[in-house]
Amino acid sequence: MDFFLLGAIIIGCSSVILFAMRRYFSPRGTKLPKLPETWWTPGTESSVNNDIRPFKVTFTEEVIKDLKYRLNHTRPLTPPLKDVAWTYGTNTDALRKFLDHWSNNYNFEERERYINQYSHFKTNIQGLDIHFIHVKPSTTEGKRVLPLLIVHGWPGSIIEFYKIIPFLTSPKPEYDFIFEVVAPSLPGFGFSSAATIPELSALQMSVVLKNLMLRLGHDKYYVQGGDWGASVIHTMSCLYPQHVLGMHSNLCTVFSKWTLLSSELKSALRLPSFLPWAKTKKAPGFGLLAETGYYHIQATKPDTVGVGLNDSPAGLAAYIIEKFSTGTNPSYKKRADGGFLEKFTYDELIDNLMIYWVSNSITTAMRIYAELYTKSNRSLSALLESTPIKVPSACAQFPHEIMEQDPSKLRERFVNLLRATKMPRGGHFAAFEEPELLADDIWNSVDEMEKWNKKHRETVICEQERSKL
């Protein structure tokens, strides 16, 4: 058979299959779910109140003494193989230096003051004591104050936002607004309490954070996030456009059934390499697969691995700093020092570890992975992934992020995507690595969203109300 005729037949067949499957898998008239206001600690309903209470992070003498004892009595670390750098995971030569700094050079009193430089609070939402930082601009200079909810992920914490907050709460002459920042610890993370029953995934956390903003008196606000924080704000933007004025994400993704299926079909139906015009490509996704073993563990057995991480500060450090190495730049795993000191200091990374260590929260934080894969949450996630997000949206795409999708693909989900910015540098922990770069993109994006809302916001709200019918 003629090669060109064979190619035409393959292309024709694949087009028909893709068209048919798209019609089958695309949502048609799907009614948006209404997530319940679940009480996540049954039995405490009558013993809590709605007060907003000041909170202070404290490194007690007892905690410091115990931590130093554990660090100083860490069993001998297994030496790395010759020339493997971080390709086998955390390089123990680099880890030894890190642990020495934590034990001997980390100034606990000074870092405690650093962490408490912003105002911390707690309030009970749906049975959970939610911890959050609340930073208002010191001067508004006649500018409009826009509430901005910023949400972290794993293995990060509120510490990720310490360097970006001043860039968001200081006036810029070119804008007529300024931000008031609310940065919560996700339920089960840090000083936010954990659920005592299953099913509290990032999806349900969107309800909790929506209610937190309402508790603070913010009926309308902007949202920003990366990692799991991106998942939370995507869900909030989908379900609560009457509250969300706009969404800025540094991990925009589209994982609808159709998107996944079409990718697989296109891969399966890729023209055979013997055709004259076909190009050979490396197997896709191997890099992502190689770096997500932790994801499978935490999505299936978080409590098992949590025992060791809760008990050993060396183990906790090894597990988490490896993510800050490779997540910042995948090429760093080829460096013996892990490269993380290019963007972070020892103290900054240890601040993040201290949030997990002092609160004893690594296990409950890792459960966010497992909760997404319960039977009911898998179905709910699939529905939400296939539901368009209509609030004005912006995506900051950092070159060393764990994955990136083309803006044309993103618009299948973020239908009012105003910006998709290719950032000049940075990786997965954008606010922590490149606070000024990310802040500038947030300012620019919100400025465009404000203009867009003046023309189109009522249309979005009306469409949301019709979807409930």
Q: Which residues are catalytic?
A: 227, 369, 428
Distance of CA 215 to the CA centre of its chain: 23
Which string of b and e fits 106-127 if b means at least 16 CB within 10 Å?
Answer: bebeebbebbeebebbbbbbbb
Tokens of 98: 């890190």
Q: For residue 182, list its beta bridge partners.
A: 134, 149
Spatial CA neighbour of 263 closest among 244, 246, 288? 288
Beta 177-184 vs 128-135: how paired, if at all?
A: antiparallel
Spatial distance between the Cα atoms of 93 and 125, rounded to a whole number of angstroms: 44
Radius of gyration of the CA atoms of the chain, in A: 23
Measured CA to CA in angstroms, residue 78 lies from 108, 193, 306, 339 at distances of 28, 35, 21, 21
**CA distances, 358 to each of 66, 67, 184, 310, 391 (Å):** 11, 9, 17, 10, 38
Largest CA distance in the chain: 80
